[in-house]
Amino acid sequence: MPDKPFPWYCTRCKKATIEPSKQRYEFTQKHDGRTQQIVIDAIPIPTCTNCGYQTFDQSTLAVITEETYKQLGLLTPAEIRQNREVLYLKQQEMQDALGLGGNSLSRWETGHVYQSRALDRFLRVFFASGEARRILKNEDRTDVEDVEQVCLVKRCFSHIPRSLSCQRVTFRSDRFATAYEGN
Ligand SMILES: [Zn+2]
């Protein structure tokens, strides 16, 4: 209840003694195999003047979340979503372009999980570079069903032996070239 006027009722000492307060807040955050110290100098934490009980309301938690992303050096969930929307991409389209599995992008954009450092850098390149996005689009892999669709429509792949029209055929739309990977 961030809009409720102070003082708030303290559930620990049963008095109306919680007042606004700005404090230094420090904690360790594990991310991507490392442990990092997060330090926030002046964060609003409503605190009981009688017993010291701290109240973490929604606005406090929002500041902690935002600062944690910044200090870990990661794009925030809002930054990821805004950058995607600037490119007029749906979540699924961007997932496909990046080759992400499951609902990774959705989980990053809602802040359910932190993206790894490597994928954070990948996101930054994707957002910043039209060339990177073009490369990723052209390198899209198609599965057998897609290739067979191409066969029917354009007859480009009619020479693929049935025994080889297996799991992994790379299709380059720019040159109509195919490559067989493995057996
Ligand atoms: Zn108290």
Q: Any bridge partners for residue 25, and if so which? A: 40
Count of alpha carbons within 13 angstroms of residue 123, beta-carbon side: 25
pTM: 0.66
Per CATH, domain 18-72 is 3.10.20: yes
Kindly give the distance from the C-alpha atom of residue 10 to the centroid of ligand 1, in angstroms, as a whole number.
Answer: 5
Distance 16 CA to ligand 1 centre (A): 8
Cα 21 to ligand 1 centroid, rounded to whole Å:
14
Helices (H), the chain: 58-72, 77-86, 91-98, 104-109, 117-128, 130-138, 144-154
Using the mean position of ligand 1's atoms as its centre, give its distance from the Cα of residue 94 in Å: 49
Q: Please provide the average confidence, as pLDDT, over all residues in the chain.
A: 80
Supply 63's token pair: 């500041």
Averaged pLDDT, 85-92: 95
Using one digit for the tens of pLDDT, what is the confidence trace for 7-56? 999 999 999 999 999 999 999 999 999 999 999 999 999 999 999 999 98
How many Å lie between the centroid of ligand 1 and the Cα of residue 182? 68
CATH 3.10.20 location in the chain? 18-72
Query: 124-130: which pairs have CB atoms within 8 A and are 24 or more residues apart?
Result: 124/75, 126/94, 126/97, 126/98, 127/83, 127/84, 127/86, 127/87
Asked if the peptide bond before residue 44 counts as cis, ω within 30 degrees of 0, the response is no
Give 5 Cα–ligand 1 centroid separation in angstroms: 17
120-129 pLDDT tens trace: 999 999 999 9
